[in-house]
Amino acid sequence: MNTIAEHIADFLKEYPPFDNLTFQELSEIASNIHVLNLEKNAILFQINDVLHDSFYVVASGTINLSTIADAEETILNKCHEGDVFGLRPFFAKNNYMMTAKAREESIIYAIPIAVFRPFVANNSNVLNFLLESFAVNSRHTKDTVSGSKQISDTGFYVDQQTEMQYIQSLSYNNSPLTADQNSIVKDVAQLMTNAMVDNVVVTEKKHPIGIVTEADLSSKIATGRYPITETIDKIMSSPVVTVIENVSLAEAQLLMLKHNVSHLCVTKDGTSKSVVKGIISEHDLIVAQASNPGVLIKEIKRAQLAKDLKQIRDRLSDLIQNSIQKNVPLSHITNIAGEINLAIIRRAVELSILDLGSPPARFAWLSTGSQGRKEQLLLTDQDSILIFEDVAPEKYRDVKDYFLRLAKRTSSILEKVGYSYCPNGHMGSNMLWCKSLTDWTKQYNSWMNTPGENSNDLSSIFFDYEIVFGEPKIEEALENVIFKNATNNTLFFDFLGNDALRKNSPLSFFKKLILEEEGPHKGKFDIKTRALMPLIDSARLLILSSNIKGIKNTYLRFKQLAITDSKNAEIYLSCAEAFLTLSKFRTIEGLKNDDSGEYVNIKEFSKIDREKLKNALQPMKDLEELIKSKFQLTQFS
């Protein structure tokens, strides 16, 4: 073996995924590698270039991966020594979606995909590494430092690694063309042409035994290897790779790569011993990638009108529905939906600024309530506050006037997207909730230090907030005011505690669900007021009193409390799970009836779901006792 290849193999074995291969395997790969010397600023490939037949490893130097949006180049990732990039040809057939450019003089190893593919098929560690790198393109060097914002090879932010891919639903052909093994090739080719498809599944007793694609016709018939009068079993590829009906994008990609095939056959139980239900092609994977969450966020950034944002929000609803049907963990779905909701609100603020001109002062737009907690899976109402920096007294009126106009415009865009106006007027477009930092500081001081006197306009949603747009230091200043006032503030916690416990118990003394007795929702269960709100309120109360900053989401609040207050961990963890179960029931109800899902119809529940619901309500009693003893609440005001 020549010394250059040996040197390359020595280098590769230090880095994943090559550290999973034997030296023998590495030597074989190394002897097929092309070494590229790139000058500073040389471009290896750029957006929309046709895919290369190799992927790349940085031997020395640095390669910048960048994308261009709105005529602006954004560097998504820097690849250093040992980093793998340019994996797109492994997973997709469309052109490159980013540009690779040498930041300095660099040496790159080009590894031909045809040479590398067999090692991938035999080694699941290598396969998983490549799939993850493609989805995330994270740094995988010897001294990997994780925790940075991660970016995928398709050019969008992904915090939860390949989680996006696992949520991704796949649409595919549910009525595939089938033929039996004795059909004549000419007739089958005619069928394919008439149906405008590029494949036919060969079946025996409705079970798949092979597949014929356009590629088979061109490589085996057009070349004259077989006559057109031959039976189809002679040219079919067999056996077929089969999958179950609700396979995810990531799993489908893995299987195609692993078996080096361009089609997967969907069967009733996922094996070749059951009925054919559909066919997934590489094209279906490319289409699925276009509706993934990262792509939605990119489209939001480009949207110019409320109706563009509405269309994206409708697609988010489909994504949520598909994810729930696939039993994707609700905490994952909430994470992704939360990011997309915030991106929509951010874009609404940006569009308003484009209309009104630059703001006269720095400000922060905060989403409050369920949007601030990133728990809004359904199209419920909008809640927000606007805080602007302190300005000279003579400027105050004009500045406030600008921000009120900005808030009204933003709220109006959001209303067109489908987030209805808050019935209680808790929005930045309301004079009361659009003011300077000093005025907000006074407001919170008054609410927290004399809560009884201000109980009419004190809404707990003002303690759940997330900055959507503007100056992070303003949000920080508000947080400091809240936590300073919270220290040893028994009066405030007494008020919040009683408020949390005032919501009526969801279960009667005899463990029966308490249903609505009158009105339009008679006979239904108010899952929001009786079940979710007590959990949301209690988590907020406990997190504020434990002086834990920065955690706004109810599920994560309970998880954090279980760590901080370990002797009550069991109660908190049960509450975290209960919150997810109840939220899921509410979301399913809301998607079904196209409403807020507040009232669920227990009569339509299966026996198992009824039990699940009752079990989710059990930890509330313990939580109530815990709060009573922690805050010594005896009277219920």
For 484-517, the pLDDT digits (tens) are 999 988 888 888 888 887 766 676 655 677 888 8
70 pLDDT exceeds 70? no
**Backbone dihedral region for residue 260 (phi beyond 0: left; psi -120 to 50: alpha; all else: beta):** left
Domain 293-483 fold is Beta Polymerase; domain 2 (3.30.460)
The pLDDT assigned to 317 comes to: 86
Q: What is the CA 454 to chain-centroid distance, rounded?
A: 39
75 pLDDT exceeds 60? yes
Q: Which two tokens stand for residue 581?
A: 């179960």
Q: Are 236 and 261 in contact (CB under 8 A)?
A: no
The pLDDT assigned to 498 comes to: 84
The pLDDT assigned to 455 comes to: 58
The residue among 595, 577, 599 whose CA lies nearest residue 530 is 599
The pLDDT assigned to 141 comes to: 28
Task: For the chain, give the percent of residues with pLDDT over 70.
Answer: 88
Average pLDDT of 609-631?
89
Q: What is the CA 565 to chain-centroid distance, rounded?
A: 30
The pLDDT assigned to 159 comes to: 33
Quick: pLDDT tens for 275-332. Answer: 999 999 887 876 666 556 777 888 898 899 999 999 989 888 888 887 787 677 787 7
The pLDDT assigned to 291 comes to: 56
Which has the higher per-residue pLDDT, 162 or 391?
A: 391
The per-type count for the chain, helices as H runs and strands as E runs, is 24, 20
Q: Which two tokens stand for residue 248?
A: 């995810």
Q: In CATH, what number does 178-281 get?
A: 3.10.580.10
Which residues, in sequence order, are CB contacts of 459 under 8 Å at separation 6+? 424, 426
My answer on whether omega of the bond before 506 falls inside 30° of 0, hence cis, is: no
β 384-388/434-436 pair status: parallel
Whole-angstrom Cα distance, residue 559 to residue 129? 30
Q: Which two tokens stand for residue 67?
A: 């994308």
At position 533, the amino acid (one-letter code) is: M
Dihedral, 288, 292, 294, 298 alpha carbons, nearest 10: 80
Domain 3-162 fold is Jelly Rolls (2.60.120)
Q: Which two tokens stand for residue 14?
A: 């230090």
The pLDDT assigned to 388 comes to: 96
H runs (alpha helix) in 100-184: 113-121, 124-136, 163-167
Whole-angstrom Cα distance, residue 336 to residue 341? 9
Quick: pLDDT tens for 348-378. Answer: 999 999 999 999 999 999 999 888 898 888 8
E-only strand ranges, 235-275: 242-243, 263-267
Q: Which two tokens stand for residue 546?
A: 């434990």
396 pLDDT band (50/70/90 cuts)? very high
DSSP line for 199-221? EEEEEETTEEEEEEEHHHIIIII
Which residues, in sequence order, are CB contacts of 465 under 8 Å at separation 6+? 366, 367, 368, 372, 385, 475, 478, 552
The pLDDT assigned to 503 comes to: 66
Q: Which two tokens stand for residue 307?
A: 């109706």
Enclosing H/E stretch for 30: helix 23-30
Average pLDDT of 235-241?
90
Enclosing H/E stretch for 68: strand 63-69
Dihedral, 367, 368, 371, 372 alpha carbons, nearest 10: 90
Quick: pLDDT tens for 191-225. Answer: 998 888 889 999 998 899 999 998 888 888 888 89
Whole-angstrom Cα distance, residue 544 to residue 540? 6
The terminus-to-terminus CA distance of the chain in angstroms comes to: 85
